Amino acid sequence: MVQVGPASGVQTGFRFVEWGAVFAGAAIAAALSFVLLTFGSAIGLSAVSPWPNSGVSAKTAASLAVFWTLAQQIGAFMIGGYVAGRLRTRWAEANADETEFRDGLHGALVWAVGILIGGLLVLSTAGAVARAGVDAVSKAATVAGSNADSISYYADALMRPAARQAAAQGATPGSPATPARAEPLSADTRAEIGRIVGRAVTAGSLADNDRSYLATLVAQRTGMSQAEAERRVNETIAEADRTAREAADKARRAALVGGLITAISLLVSLAAAWWAAQKGGNHRDNRIPARFAVAAPMHRPPT
């Protein structure tokens, strides 16, 4: 009787997942992704400029950033998958289709572990929490300042002199068309108007008592009739509401596009890692040198 065993250097057993190859490919993918993102950020900063008519436009810069994010992520996981497939040991009991599947599955594991490594690095970095806090405070301050500027604008728009009042500035004193010169808005009045406008925008409508109060202030300050003052109040509140909704819709669309791009990028990266791991396994089985720039001819191992 002649016992036939596995070929020399070919492993058999029940451990179908080789975590050493998976972690090696995932570490390489995460490192490459970090390096390429840093390089892309530097190139992007050199391409934009705060000066007018200088550097690329914001739309072009955003398009390039999206393209580079996709390209670097796909490329990094492709290399990591290839490394995992190349490092994985051949199995004697698996046929060609099963070997190809196992190689691809190792590429998918590289993709999964690489994403986890990237997330853990962000969360565990010593300065990440501090930077996140600074960014959050900065963004909150920016939003608050922007809202304050908007409220100040609408308060000024409400109390802006009417066109006929401006034309009547040269009339003789005591003329009915010439109201008394208005004093600058006090801080308390401006804050009160801001609270009313902000509440109306948040609620989606202006309460009747607030509308009457604002119209009275506008009529007293501009010399308008009560009906004209109410019309101005309604128009100003409608403009503030439209502006807020447009900003919210713009932010929603940006978040939607960002989420779709991220999901598509991750799915394409998964497919790239799976394919590259299969390619690495094919090169391993056929003893083809790893050459990323020049394709080497395929040849079978000697029997």
Closest to 237 in 3D by CA, of 265, 202, 272, 261: 202
Residue 12 has pLDDT above 80, yes or no: no
Average pLDDT of the chain to the nearest whole number: 75
**Helix 19-47 crosses helix 58-87 at what angle (to 10 degrees)?**
160
For residue 159 the two structure tokens come to 């109390």
C-alpha dihedral, 248 to 252 to 254 to 259, nearest 10°: 160
Tell me the pLDDT tens digit for each residue of 134-173.
454 444 444 444 455 666 777 777 887 765 554 444 444 4
Query: Residue 176 has what pLDDT?
Result: 43
Query: Residue 302 has what pLDDT?
Result: 52
Query: Residue 47 has what pLDDT?
Result: 74
Residue 125 has pLDDT above 80, yes or no: no
* For the chain, the helix, strand and coil percentages under 3-state DSSP, each to the nearest 5: 70, 0, 25
Task: Determine the Cα–Cα distance for residues 99 and 237; give it in Å rounded to an integer.
Answer: 67
Of the ranges 41-45, 211-215, 220-224, 274-278, the best mean pLDDT one? 274-278
Tell me the pLDDT tens digit for each residue of 190-241.
888 888 888 888 888 888 888 888 888 888 888 888 888 889 888 888 888 8
Query: Residue 59 has what pLDDT?
Result: 77
- Residue 91: strand pairing partners: 11
Name the least confident of 14-23, 63-72, 138-147, 282-291.
138-147
Query: Residue 7 has what pLDDT?
Result: 45
One-letter amino acid for residue 94 of the chain? A
Residue 295 has pLDDT above 60, yes or no: no
Closest to 66 in 3D by CA, of 276, 262, 271, 284: 262
Of the ranges 64-73, 105-114, 124-133, 206-215, the best mean pLDDT one? 105-114
Confidence of residue 63 (pLDDT cuts 50, 70, 90): confident
DSSP one-letter string for 90-146: PBTT--HHHHHHHHHHHHHHHHHHHHHHHHHHHHH-TTHHHHHHHHHHHHHHHHHHH
Query: Residue 278 has what pLDDT?
Result: 92
> What contacts 198, CB < 8 A, 6 or more positions away?
147, 151
Residue 127 has pLDDT above 50, yes or no: no
Residue 258 backbone class (left: φ over 0; alpha: ψ -120 to 50; beta: rest): alpha
- pTM for the model stands at 0.62
Query: Residue 77 has what pLDDT?
Result: 94
Query: Residue 183 has what pLDDT?
Result: 61
Phi and psi dihedrals of 223, rounded to 5?
A: 85, 10
Mean pLDDT on 88-106: 83
One-letter amino acid for residue 117 of the chain? I
Mean pLDDT on 84-100: 82
Closest to 103 in 3D by CA, of 117, 112, 91: 91
Beta-strand ranges (E) seen in the chain are none
Task: Determine the Cα–Cα distance for residues 155 and 192; give it in Å rounded to an integer.
Answer: 9
Residue 8 has pLDDT above 60, yes or no: no
Contact 77, 111 (CB under 8 A): yes
The label of the residue with tokens 């996709």 reads 70
